[in-house]
Amino acid sequence: MISDLLAPLDLAFWNIESDRHPMHLGALGVFTAHSPTAGAHAADLLAARAAAVPGLRMRIRDVWQPTAPLSFGGAAREPAPDFEPLDHVLLHKPTADFHAEAGRLMERPLERGRPPWEAHVLPGEDGTSFAVLFKFHHALADGLRALMLAAAIMDPMDLPEPRPRPAEPPRGLFPDVRKLPGLVRGTLSDVGRALDIGTSVARATLGAQSSPALTSSPTGTRRTAGVVIDLDDVHIVRKTVGGTVNDVLIAVVAGALRRWLDERGDGSEGVSPRALIPVSRRRPRTAQPQGNRLSGYLIRLPVDDPDPLGRLRAVRTAMDRNKDAGPNRGAGAVALLADHVPPLGHRIGGPVVGQAARLLFDILVTSVPLPSLGLKLGGCPLTEVYPFAPLARGQALAVAVSTYRGKVHYGLVADAEAVPDLDLLARSLAEEVRVLITACTP
């Protein structure tokens, strides 16, 4: 049986999980149904196809190998000998509200003794649509890897084949002495980078003012919401003001938070929450290796700026500064510090790190790439797709964004008790786009 040791960041995600803070990604796809039985047919297809996808057969287990001291306290992916797809693809009763069901399902941690993923098929009450909620543990996959796994059980399409990972030579207990000078230089460089990141994190926490609305006691409840906007509208703003599509999408979040805080009575004056913007370190068109290849940028969201174009300029400036420094430096690269912690340290310190997330950033704003080609399941076209990010301990809200076939989909996950008005924030996102377009029109 072939085992693949978890990379440090994967191991961190595996160990910081708790019952009230499950560390799984999610995506809610809405499909047009050709018949009232389309949802049941989709569930059968997903179960049948999952058995043929090796990445979906992988479970995670603890490893304690006395012959490999550096793996002590670690974990590994390995094929599950008793894998049963029907345990992972679940057909639910018809519902009138896909997001209400998705919120309840996102609360539930994945079973850690079996392959950590699930697909929940939700037929629509009217028979004209159905939805599928995919859940993948963050230790199994990051956003791009999860996309490739989900696409593998959709209808066949012309996707580029993942590039094979070059085979690594077997490692002995001790390093090759001929490589020691380079290893020493690399270690010293890594230590210097770790100190630089740690210093940047400390500086980023100084003077930051968030809002109580973005913090939460761990209730374990979840609520989801989504909103769709036209990508053409985003391009109108980008072409008028400059910057990137992602700059505009982040600025939309800042403006929506401002409107939401003011309307709910919390107030936005002086609020500039720290947003963590994950950055993929994978090569384009490559889904290997498994697990996470992530860094990130950290920026202050200019929620307190009353000028919508001023907010966009502030986001653009902050993102340009982060890009100039690169994804391997600065406070946003805090995920890379996982590489400098031994496996046993992740196991022992995981709960502490999970509680410390609130000290590092206030809100997660992440982008999940999707193919431009139309996806189908059982011949039914995918019309909407809302990505969901994990919600860290002490945080009340996470925002994920996907662009699909000319539309931008914002997926919102919140603590259900701390944010009972999540739909108001979703509407604020759409309103902010209209405000930006008006501000760009002479």
Q: What is the pTM of this model?
A: 0.85
What is the reported pLDDT for 158?
Answer: 52
Distance CA 249, CA 238 (A): 10
CB count within 10 Å of CB 306 equals 11
What is the reported pLDDT for 303?
Answer: 97
Diameter over CA atoms, the chain: 70
Q: What sign does the CA torsion over 350, 354, 360, 366 have?
A: positive
Distance CA 259, CA 254 (A): 9
What pLDDT digit, counting tens, does each position of 24-71 carry? Answer: 999 999 999 999 999 999 999 999 999 999 999 999 988 765 444 444
What is the reported pLDDT for 353?
Answer: 46
Residue pLDDT tens, the chain, 442 long? 456 788 777 888 888 888 888 999 999 999 999 999 999 999 999 999 999 999 999 999 887 654 444 445 578 889 998 999 999 999 999 999 999 999 999 999 999 999 999 999 999 999 999 999 999 999 888 887 888 899 899 998 654 444 444 444 443 334 444 444 543 344 334 444 444 444 455 454 545 567 888 887 778 899 999 999 999 999 999 999 999 999 999 999 999 999 999 999 999 999 999 998 888 755 544 444 555 556 778 899 999 999 999 999 999 999 998 888 776 655 444 443 444 444 444 344 445 444 555 667 889 999 987 877 789 999 999 999 999 999 988 889 999 999 999 999 999 999 999 999 999 999 999 999 999 999 998 7
Distance CA 124, CA 38 (A): 10
Structure tokens at 310: 């001023």
- Which residue intervals of 205-294 are DSSP H helices? 231-241, 245-263
Distance CA 368, CA 375 (A): 15
Contact 241, 233 (CB under 8 A): no
Contact 319, 299 (CB under 8 A): yes
Distance CA 323, CA 363 (A): 20
Rounded to 5°, angle at Cα 23 from 327 and 192: 30
